[in-house]
């Protein structure tokens, strides 16, 4: 009895702690911070070459996420999380001995692969647990907080350092704690999860049998198994398809370091964004909310981390801001607000989820407007407004969209988030280069003029990002109405608390009385 009751509860606690630790570790691998310690590099290592090597983490991460999403569906979350954190730990240890550019490149690729395994791994671990009504909001809130604070977390260990290698191992102790939690999760999953997995398998079999009886009387078990295999293959194809824009954006990210034209980068990144939105608009989804979740991931990834990263650089002490020590309070308050808002949104009625998703994205737009109005600031407290708006809006939109999406659609949407982050960085960097080129053409560009160029680039990027988020809100609403008008209805929508699933429309209504089990079609 102790094993049957206490182990699953303790397993949920471990999953929650692992999510809270692993997500920041994964996202903090994204920023390229080597330029901050360029003066500490050996004289025989060109800073440009080191920046190219250090920047390989994000391309590796965005290529890994869809593959890791396929892996967690095949092998479950626990072994994938242990493997990802093991890679991060090995890269951290080896980072202390890095001596050459090529080794830095290898280690940063390992960082990207490990981080790319953690993001879908933590989401799958949460979705596998019965207490998703608590764990899922924690995951969404921590992802929003991690995206918001990634640049600051990456810069924090570099204050007054004496070695450039700190950029390769910013938080080794935290990596060790996360690895220990992942190992405990794996052991507990193996010990206490057998009964749960057997029960889930029995439920899946019963549900499949019921559906077969309603749709094809007399069908055999072999036919049902074949249908399940086809569904699994279709899901893997969809996940693999998201690697196409990821590969294109990865090439752009690497090519930009070789002095590609800023105009070319902006145009190519914008086209990649259009491709991602097109994939979501024209794709098919097996659960209600799947399309909306994919749109939400693109919008959140595009604007939160890239915008706040530029804001963080502008608020450093050397350019007139309060420095990292002066803006820690806005980041902490925003992170706490994100988790609390996600927990509240996770308990809202399912009939409100589409309104909450669009409302969360609207709050993100408000945060971008606040960036334009309040940044830069010589003091930290005013930054609470944009940071809280961005974090809360992203957390509410993510958790609301996730509540009606099964594991397949959740992982598919997540596979578009990291490419959107890269697209946001490329668009922001391209706009920044274009505006700074105009400043450099003046006869005697002053430091104030250069700083003004950075500020204008941030404001222009926030305006463009806000426009894209508004387009996403409109697209999600229009396509939800189309899906509802076409009679698209689902009996199983991945509901968090086993509640009745609604038709994906701006004003949804309950389905029939057959009930929702929390199981998605792709889970069969």
Spatial neighbors of 183 by CB under 8 A, at least 6 apart, are 82
If you average pLDDT over every residue of the chain, what do you get?
81
The span from the CA of 463 to the CA of 19, in Å, is 32
Give the pLDDT band of residue 216 (cuts 50, 70, 90).
Answer: very low
The predicted model gives 459-471 an average pLDDT of 95
∠50-52-53 over CA atoms, to 5°? 65
Is residue 143 within 8 A of residue 398, CB to CB? The reply is: yes
Per-residue confidence (pLDDT) for residue 429, from 0 to 100: 86
The span from the CA of 179 to the CA of 22, in Å, is 9
Per-residue confidence (pLDDT) for residue 511, from 0 to 100: 41
Handedness of CA 347, 351, 352, 358 (dihedral sign): positive
Is residue 327 within 8 A of residue 315, CB to CB? The reply is: yes
Per-residue confidence (pLDDT) for residue 450, from 0 to 100: 80
Give the pLDDT band of residue 445 (cuts 50, 70, 90).
Answer: low
Helix (H) or strand (E) holding 98: none
The predicted model gives 419-423 an average pLDDT of 90
The span from the CA of 140 to the CA of 247, in Å, is 26
Place of tokens 């799947």: 290
Place of tokens 């991931």: 297
Residues listed for the chain = 524
Higher-scoring residue by pLDDT: 361, 491 = 361
Higher-scoring residue by pLDDT: 221, 303 = 303
Per-residue confidence (pLDDT) for residue 452, from 0 to 100: 83
The predicted model gives 328-353 an average pLDDT of 94
Give the pLDDT band of residue 460 (cuts 50, 70, 90).
Answer: very high
The predicted model gives 21-49 an average pLDDT of 89
Residue 188: is its pLDDT beyond 50? yes
Distances (CA, A) of 161 to 38, 39, 158: 12, 11, 5
The Cα diameter of the chain in Å comes to 83
Per-residue confidence (pLDDT) for residue 117, from 0 to 100: 96
Residue 294: is its pLDDT beyond 80? yes
The structure's pTM equals: 0.84
Per-residue confidence (pLDDT) for residue 203, from 0 to 100: 43
For 1-193, CATH gives 1.20.1250.20
Spatial neighbors of 44 by CB under 8 A, at least 6 apart, are none
Give the pLDDT band of residue 7 (cuts 50, 70, 90).
Answer: low
Per-residue confidence (pLDDT) for residue 240, from 0 to 100: 61
pLDDT in tens, 74-114: 888 999 999 999 999 999 999 988 888 999 999 999 999 99
Residue 4: is its pLDDT beyond 70? no
Higher-scoring residue by pLDDT: 344, 319 = 344
The predicted model gives 169-173 an average pLDDT of 90
Higher-scoring residue by pLDDT: 367, 58 = 367
Which range (11-20, 45-54, 221-230, 296-305) has the least confidence? Answer: 221-230
Per-residue confidence (pLDDT) for residue 437, from 0 to 100: 79
Higher-scoring residue by pLDDT: 487, 13 = 13
Give the pLDDT band of residue 482 (cuts 50, 70, 90).
Answer: confident
Which range (338-342, 428-432, 472-476) has the least confidence? Answer: 428-432
Give the pLDDT band of residue 3 (cuts 50, 70, 90).
Answer: very low
Residue 320: is its pLDDT beyond 60? yes
Residue 204: is its pLDDT beyond 60? no
The predicted model gives 472-488 an average pLDDT of 80
Give 502's strand partners: 510
Which range (196-200, 218-222, 243-247, 330-334) has the least confidence? Answer: 218-222
**Residue 519, helix vs strand vs coil:** coil
Give the pLDDT band of residue 26 (cuts 50, 70, 90).
Answer: very high
Per-residue confidence (pLDDT) for residue 144, from 0 to 100: 97
The predicted model gives 433-444 an average pLDDT of 76
Residue 239: is its pLDDT beyond 80? no
Per-residue confidence (pLDDT) for residue 325, from 0 to 100: 85
DSSP-based helix, strand, coil % in the chain, nearest 5: 80, 0, 20
Residues of the chain with CATH 1.20.1250.20: 1-193
Helices 77-95 and 172-215, axial angle in degrees (round to 10): 160
Per-residue confidence (pLDDT) for residue 8, from 0 to 100: 77
The predicted model gives 223-247 an average pLDDT of 58
Distances (CA, A) of 406 to 90, 187, 234, 347: 33, 26, 15, 18
Spatial neighbors of 449 by CB under 8 A, at least 6 apart, are 439, 442
The span from the CA of 241 to the CA of 239, in Å, is 5
Is residue 195 within 8 A of residue 14, CB to CB? The reply is: no
Give the pLDDT band of residue 215 (cuts 50, 70, 90).
Answer: very low
Is residue 125 within 8 A of residue 182, CB to CB? The reply is: no
Tell which residue, 21, 76, 25, has the closest CA to residue 188. Answer: 76
Per-residue confidence (pLDDT) for residue 436, from 0 to 100: 82
Helices 384-402 and 290-314, axial angle in degrees (round to 10): 160
């Amino acid at each position: 009895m102790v094993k049957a009751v206490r182990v699953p509860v303790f397993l949920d606690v471990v999953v929650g702690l692992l999510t809270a630790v692993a997500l920041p570790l994964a996202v903090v691998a994204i920023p390229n911070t080597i330029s901050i310690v360029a003066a500490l590099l050996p004289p025989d290592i060109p800073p440009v070459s080191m920046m190219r090597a250090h920047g390989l983490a994000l391309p590796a991460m965005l290529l890994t996420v869809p593959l890791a999403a396929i892996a967690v569906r095949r092998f479950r979350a626990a072994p994938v999380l242990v493997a990802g954190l093991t890679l991060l730990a090995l890269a951290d240890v080896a980072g202390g001995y890095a001596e050459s550019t090529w080794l830095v490149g290898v280690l940063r690729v390992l960082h990207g692969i490990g981080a790319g395994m953690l993001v879908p791994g933590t989401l799958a671990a949460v979705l596998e647990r019965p207490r998703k009504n608590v764990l899922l909001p924690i995951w969404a809130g921590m992802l929003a907080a991690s995206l918001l604070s990634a640049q600051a977390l990456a810069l924090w260990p570099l204050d007054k350092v004496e070695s450039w290698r700190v950029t390769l191992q910013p938080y080794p102790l935290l990596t060790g704690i996360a690895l220990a939690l992942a190992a405990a999760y794996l052991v507990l999953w193996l010990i206490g999860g057998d009964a749960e997995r057997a029960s889930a398998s029995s439920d899946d079999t019963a549900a499949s049998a019921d559906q077969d009886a309603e749709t094809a009387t007399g069908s055999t078990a072999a036919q049902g198994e074949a249908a399940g295999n086809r569904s699994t293959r279709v899901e893997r194809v969809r996940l693999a398809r998201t690697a196409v824009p990821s590969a294109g954006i990865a090439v752009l990210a690497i090519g930009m370091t070789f002095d590609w034209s800023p105009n070319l980068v902006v145009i190519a990144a914008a086209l990649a964004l259009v491709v991602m939105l097109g994939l979501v608009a024209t794709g098919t989804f097996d659960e209600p909310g799947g399309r909306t979740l994919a749109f939400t991931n693109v919008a959140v990834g595009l604007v939160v981390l890239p915008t706040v990263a530029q804001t963080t650089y502008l608020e450093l002490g050397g350019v007139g801001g309060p420095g990292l020590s002066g803006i820690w309070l806005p980041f902490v308050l925003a992170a706490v607000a994100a988790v609390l808002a996600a927990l509240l949104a996770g308990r809202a009625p399912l009939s409100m989820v589409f309104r909450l998703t669009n409302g969360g994205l609207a709050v993100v737009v408000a945060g971008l407007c606040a960036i334009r109005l309040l940044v830069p600031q010589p003091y930290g407290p005013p930054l609470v407004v944009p940071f809280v708006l961005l974090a809360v809006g992203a957390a509410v939109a993510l958790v609301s969209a996730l509540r009606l999406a099964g594991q397949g659609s959740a992982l598919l949407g997540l596979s578009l988030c990291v490419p959107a982050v890269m697209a946001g960085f490329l668009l922001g960097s391209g706009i920044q280069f274009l505006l700074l080129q105009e400043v450099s053409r003046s006869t005697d560009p002053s430091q104030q003029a250069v700083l003004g160029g950075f500020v204008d680039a941030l404001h222009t990027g926030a305006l463009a990002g806000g426009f894209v988020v508004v387009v996403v809100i409109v697209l999600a609403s229009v396509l939800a109405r189309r899906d509802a008008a076409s009679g698209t209805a689902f009996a199983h929508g991945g509901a968090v608390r086993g509640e009745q699933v609604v038709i994906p429309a701006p004003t949804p209504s309950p389905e029939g009385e057959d009930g929702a089990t929390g199981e998605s079609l792709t889970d069969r």
